[in-house]
């Protein structure tokens, strides 16, 4: 019997085992000390589906879709599918009233196979192939975001009807917040810069094509943005550009897509972008810009991806070994790594880790959770606290892994990619099966 058993009131004064800002909304700890999500013990997922495995809380995804719809009632919310796309996820977000933003013919086909309405799909990308554009035209995609002069030419020559298009512009708005990546500035590969007449030239070319129907502008400022102020600056410059189009060409653009990139917390204390604060900022910026330029208010589209699915995901691993090196670090080696989470090596991302199969009362020790791949940089979590009695066979859970993990996974070292397992109301179900070595060999036709 522990002191907590004798004096249960002490629990209220203790630091929570799991930070509620990082874990799915349905996360709990059961009477055996196991972490559960969606009413399912993560240790049971590990036992039944194997490890590593991506676990996705359906209720959490749907809740965040509804939050965005409620927070932006007059705007269109288009889920950025590149964050995580399976047929089930496409179905969930569309059932919750969201449109879809895709970047390739493959993402488009996945969305269509889930029953998504092509008229509510947006195709964008800085280097769309002719196959991407042809697939979008054939499917009847509602909007295509033009990102180069070549695309203007290809689109104008394809199809018989008029295609609704947006032109992606870069308003030269930088983002300087915690771990943000900037894509809304002049010197990068996306869009047409407003400065230097680049956007003006692209808009003129689109307007000169009878098979293209220019309906608005698109921009994307970056990712992991936690300060709403850059959105206000961008809206001002974009509405100014729309007013200039009306002045020069007599065309009123009715749609303004301000992209996504809404930041979330990955470790305790990380800042995050609050949707309500963003909504107030967007409203004020639109009111000010439209009044100043005497321009009719356009319909706004936002494209959250990570903010919808990031926190809904947890990855579970099995501990393979614990290597304690005197005078150096302690390495906890697991059966996954950079093939299922490349963000640590690619972006220097940081994650928390918890023991999922039991509650340990051992003192905490600082460790590095290392992956199984033959790379020195294959480390999933550096300098994290885990119980000193950690042992092979324990199940570790890494939260906030719903976005850009399954999407970016590889088969490096010929390690098959993990399954995606949805949990809801106490029931787990496989959305994407585990890849096998047989799958890998089937593609190798050189024998």
Residue numbering of the annotated binding site for substrate: 306, 343, 347, 375, 404
Distance between CA atoms of 109 and 404, rounded to whole angstroms?
Answer: 19
What number of other Cβ atoms are within 10 A of residue 62's Cβ? 18
Maximum Cα interatomic distance, the chain, rounded to a whole number of Å: 79
Helix (H, G, I), strand (E, B) or coil at 88: helix
SS3 99: strand
Q: Nearest CA to 337 among 373, 311, 301?
A: 373
Q: Is 333 a catalytic residue?
A: no
Binding residues for pyridoxal 5'-phosphate: 261, 303-306, 404
Fill in the DSSP letter of residue 331.
Answer: E
Q: Is 389 exposed, middle or buried (0-12, 13-18, 19+ CB in 10 A)?
A: middle
Cα-Cα-Cα-Cα dihedral of 324, 330, 336, 341, to 10°? -170
Using DSSP, state whether 289 is helix, strand or coil. helix
Q: How far is CA 324 from CA 365, 371, 380, in A?
A: 11, 16, 17
Q: Which two tokens stand for residue 197?
A: 């007449």
Numbered residues of the known binding site: 261, 303-306, 343, 347, 375, 404
Query: Could you tell me the CA-to-CA distances from 58 to 68, 94, 308, 441, 442 in Å, in that order?
Result: 16, 13, 11, 33, 32
Of 142, 313, 298, 132, the C-alpha closest to 219 is: 298
**Residue labelled with tokens 């004096």:** 7
C-alpha distances in angstroms, 374 versus 228, 378, 415? 41, 8, 11
Peptide bond connecting 52 to the previous residue in cis, omega within 30 degrees of 0 = yes
| Options 65, 103, 290, 374, the catalytic residue | 374
Q: Six-digit token pair at 322?
A: 């614990």
Enzyme catalytic residues? 374
């Amino acid at each position: 019997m522990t002191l907590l058993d004798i004096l249960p009131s002490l629990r209220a004064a203790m630091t929570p085992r799991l930070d509620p800002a990082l874990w799915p909304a349905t996360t709990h700890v059961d009477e055996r000390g196991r972490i559960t999500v969606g009413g399912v013990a993560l240790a049971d997922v590990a036992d039944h589906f194997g490890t590593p495995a991506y676990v996705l809380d359906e209720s959490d995804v749907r809740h965040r879709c509804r939050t965005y719809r409620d927070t932006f009632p007059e705007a269109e919310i288009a889920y950025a599918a590149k964050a995580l796309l399976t047929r089930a996820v496409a179905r969930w977000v569309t059932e919750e009233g969201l449109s879809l933003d895709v970047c390739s013919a493959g993402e488009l086909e996945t969305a269509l196979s889930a029953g998504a309405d092509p008229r509510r799909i947006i195709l964008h990308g800085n280097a769309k192939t002719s196959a991407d554009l042809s697939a979008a035209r054939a499917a009847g995609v509602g909007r295509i975001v033009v990102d180069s002069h070549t695309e203007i030419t290809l689109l104008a020559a394809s199809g018989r009807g008029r295609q609704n298009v947006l032109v992606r512009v870069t308003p030269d708005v930088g983002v300087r917040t915690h771990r943000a990546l900037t894509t809304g500035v002049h010197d990068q590969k996306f869009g047409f810069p407003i400065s230097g007449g680049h956007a003006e030239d692209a808009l003129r070319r689109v307007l000169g094509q009878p098979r293209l129907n220019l309906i608005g502008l698109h921009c994307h400022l970056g990712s992991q943005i936690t300060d709403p102020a850059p959105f206000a600056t961008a809206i001002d410059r974009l509405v100014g550009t729309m007013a200039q189009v009306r002045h020069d060409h007599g065309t009123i653009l009715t749609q303004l897509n301000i992209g996504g990139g809404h930041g979330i917390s990955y470790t305790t204390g990380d800042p995050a972008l609050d949707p309500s604060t963003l909504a107030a900022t967007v409203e004020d910026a639109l009111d000010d810009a439209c009044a100043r330029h005497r321009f009719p208010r356009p319909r706004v589209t936002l494209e959250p991806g990570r903010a919808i699915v990031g926190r809904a995901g947890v990855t579970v691993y099995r501990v393979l070994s614990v290597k304690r090196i005197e005078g150096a670090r302690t390495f906890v080696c697991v059966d996954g790594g950079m093939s299922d989470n490349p963000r640590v090596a690619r972006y220097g991302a940081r994650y928390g880790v918890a023991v999922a199969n039991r509650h340990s009362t051992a003192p905490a020790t600082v460790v590095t959770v290392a992956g199984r791949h033959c790379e020195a940089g294959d480390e999933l979590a550096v300098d994290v606290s885990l119980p000193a009695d950690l042992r092979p066979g324990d199940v570790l859970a890494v939260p906030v892994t719903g976005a850009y993990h399954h999407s970016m996974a590889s088969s490096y070292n010929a390690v098959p990619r993990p399954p995606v397992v949805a949990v809801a109301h106490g029931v787990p179900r496989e959305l994407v099966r585990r890849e096998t070595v047989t799958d890998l060999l089937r593609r190798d036709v050189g024998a």
